Structure 1
Amino acid sequence: MLIETERPGCVLRPWHERDQPGLVAIANNVKIWRNLTDLFPHPYTEADADAWIALAREADRSVHLAIEVEDQVAGGIGALAGSGVSIATADFGYWLGEPYWGRGLATAAARALAGVLMAQRRFARLQAPVFAGNAASMRVLEKAGFVREGVLRQSVTKDGALMDSVMYARTAT
C-alpha cells in the first residue's frame, strides 16, 4: 500500500528492512516517547527497530506504514485492528521524528490514511486516545476529521504518573 498525501514529497508506504538505521535515528528521542504508549520503547535500539519492522510487515487486518518525507523515514502511522465485539474498530496512531514537527506532515499523513481506510470501508470506526497534555496531537486529529468524544480520567500511566487521556474518533457515518 502506497498512499500519497496532500504534502509534496510526503508518502505513506510499507516499512522495509533498509529503514532500520533511519528509524533508530529519529525514534530514539525521549520527546517522542513521552507522548506514546509504552509499546514504543526508549531508548530505541536497532533490535527495537528490527522487531517493529518485522511486526509491521506481518500485519494482517492492521495497517502499519512509514511516513516518508523526501525519501527519508520521518515517522510512522497505523491502525491496529480490533477483535471480538470491536472487530469494526481500529486504534489509530502516528508519530513523527522531531526534525519534522510543525510542518503539517502529521496532519497530512493522518488525513490520508484515515481517508483511505474510510473509503475502503476497512473499519467503521477509527479511535485515537491522546495523552491529555498533548495539544498538538489533538489538533492533528481535529484537522484530520476526528471528533473529540471525551476525557478518560486517570486512564493511562506514563513514566510513573497517572494521567487522563482524551478520546478522538472518526466514523464511517
Structure 2
Amino acid sequence: MTDHLTLQRFSLGEYVLVFDLDRSILTCRARGEGQKKIWGKKLKDVHYVERVLEDAEKYYVACENGEHTGLFLALHRDTGATAWFIPGKSFLQIIYGGYLYLIFIDDREDYFLLKVDREDGRALWHHRVEDDLYEYCFNDGVITLKFGSGLTKSLDLGTGRARVSP
C-alpha cells in the first residue's frame, strides 16, 4: 500500500494529477467521487514534481531528480503522451501571452530565462540571468527583472534583448 506522504497532488480543473514519489508514476484522475483513472505515465529518474501548469491542450510538468538537474515535460492532457521535453531543472515556470517563460540552470550552475513555444517546445530566445533574481514583471511587451544586487534588467518579449531605458 502506498503511503499518502509519498504522493504529490495537483488539482487542475476537473482533473487531479498525482505523482507517486516511490514509484515515479504520474497519474491523471477525474476529480470527485471514485476518481476514475484517465491515464498513468512512468517518469523515469524523476524524484519530485516541483510544479504543474496547464493550458487547453497540455500539462506542463517541472520535474526534479537532483539539486540542479531535472526535466520539463509537456504532456498531452487526454493521453499523458509526451509532446516535448526540455532537459534540465527549471526554477520558474509561467505562461504569459501565449508562451512559456522558464528559468533553467545548466550544468555549470548558470541560470537562463527562456521564452518557449508551447506547441513544439522550441526555445525562441534565451537570456542569462543572475542567481539573485527576486522579482519579475510583465508589462507593455517587456519583462522587467530585479536582482538582489540592485540590478534591474528590462528584456523585450519579442527578442529577449535588453531594452535601454530613455
TM normalised by structure 2 equals: 0.32
Q: Which has the higher helix share?
A: 1
Q: Which has the higher strand share?
A: 2
Larger radius of gyration: 2
TM normalised by structure 1 equals: 0.31
